[in-house]
C-alpha cells in the first residue's frame, strides 16, 4: 500500500469500484447516489478535477480519504488508506513494527588478577610507566567480548568498575565513575585519565597529597593538559 498511489485514485473510479455509477452531470462534476446513506434522489456530488466530493444530504465532504472514513466509520488515516486499498484490490503492506531492543551482554567471564602480562607491562613501559608503579596501581582484567578473549590493564574506580587500556583497546568496564584516593592532606590533584595519574606518580608529583581523582572523560573530549593542583 503506497499512500501516493492512493492519492492518485479518482473518486469516480473509487465509487465505480463500490458499485456506484454517475446519474448525471453538471458544469462542475458528476452526481451519484450517496454511498454513505440511502436516498431516493442523487445528492452526492463529485468534482473529478479537484478530487473532492460533497454530500448535500448530510453536509459532509472532503477527499477520497474522508470518504473512506465515512464508509468505514474511522478518523484514523491508516485505517482509511487500508479501506481504500482493500476496495481497490491494492496490495496492503503490513505496518512497520519496530523490533524491541534487547541489550546483548558485552563483557563476559571477567576476571581480575595481578598485572603479569609482559605485553601489558611493555605497553605501560613504552609510555614511561615503570613496572613497580604499574603493579601497585593497576590490575590485569581478562574478559570475553563478542565471543573472543581479551585482556587489558585495569584501573579500578570508586564504584568498582575499571578503566581498561591496552595497545589496541581503550574503554571501560561498568559502572563508570571517578577514582578517589585519599591520603589525609588538604590538597588534591585532578587527572583526566589514569595514565596521567601514573605519569605524575612516576615524576613524584603526588607525594604528600591528600587525594587524587582520576576522571574518565568521554572519548570524544579533546585532550588537555592532564595535571593541575587544587588547594582546599
Beta bridge partners of residue 47, listed in sequence order: 52
Residue pair 125/140 in contact (Cβ under 8 Å)? The answer is no
Overall average pLDDT of the 98-119 stretch: 80
Overall average pLDDT of the 85-113 stretch: 75
| All residues at 6 or more sequence positions from 68 whose CB lies less than 8 Å from its CB, including other chains | 80, 81, 83, 84
pTM recorded for the entire structure: 0.47
Residue 227: burial class (beta carbons within 10 Å; 0-12, 13-18, 19+): middle
Beta bridge partners of residue 181, listed in sequence order: 212
**Rounded CA gap, 67 and 131, in Å?**
80
| All residues at 6 or more sequence positions from 54 whose CB lies less than 8 Å from its CB, including other chains | 44, 45, 60, 61
CA-based nearest residue to 71, from 86, 90, 56: 86
> Interior CA angle at 172 toward 171 and 176, to 5°?
135
For the domain made up of 3-87, the CATH class stated in words is: alpha beta
Q: Where are the domains of the chain?
A: 3-87, 107-231
Overall average pLDDT of the 141-158 stretch: 91
pLDDT tens for 6-22 read: 889 999 999 999 999 99
Q: What is the pLDDT, as a whole number, of residue 94? A: 59
Query: What would the grid cell of residue 134 be?
Result: 604499574
Residue 179: burial class (beta carbons within 10 Å; 0-12, 13-18, 19+): buried
Amino acid at each position: 500500500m503506497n499512500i501516493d498511489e492512493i492519492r492518485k485514485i479518482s473518486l469516480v473510479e473509487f465509487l465505480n469500484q463500490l458499485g456506484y455509477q454517475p446519474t448525471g452531470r453538471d458544469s462542475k462534476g458528476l452526481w451519484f447516489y450517496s454511498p454513505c446513506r440511502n436516498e431516493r434522489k442523487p445528492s452526492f456530488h463529485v468534482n473529478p478535477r479537484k478530487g473532492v466530493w460533497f454530500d448535500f444530504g448530510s453536509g459532509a465532504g472532503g477527499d477520497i480519504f474522508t470518504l473512506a472514513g465515512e464508509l468505514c466509520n474511522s478518523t484514523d488515516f491508516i485505517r482509511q488508506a487500508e479501506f481504500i486499498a482493500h476496495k481497490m484490490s491494492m496490495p496492503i503492506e503490513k505496518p512497520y513494527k519496530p523490533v524491541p531492543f534487547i541489550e546483548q551482554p558485552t563483557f563476559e567471564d571477567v576476571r581480575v588478577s595481578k598485572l603479569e602480562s609482559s605485553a601489558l607491562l611493555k605497553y605501560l613501559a613504552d609510555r614511561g610507566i615503570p613496572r613497580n608503579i604499574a603493579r601497585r596501581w593497576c590490575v590485569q582484567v581478562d574478559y570475553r567480548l563478542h565471543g573472543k578473549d581479551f585482556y587489558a590493564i585495569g584501573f579500578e574506580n570508586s564504584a568498582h568498575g575499571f578503566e581498561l587500556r591496552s595497545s589496541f583497546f581503550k574503554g571501560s568496564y561498568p559502572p563508570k565513575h571517578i577514582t578517589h584516593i585519599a591520603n589525609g592532606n588538604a590538597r588534591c590533584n585532578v587527572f583526566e585519565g589514569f595514565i596521567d595519574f601514573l605519569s605524575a606518580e612516576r615524576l613524584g608529583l603526588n607525594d604528600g597529597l591528600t587525594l587524587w581523582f582520576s576522571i574518565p572523560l568521554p572519548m570524544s573530549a579533546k585532550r588537555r593538559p592532564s595535571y593541575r593542583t587544587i588547594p582546599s
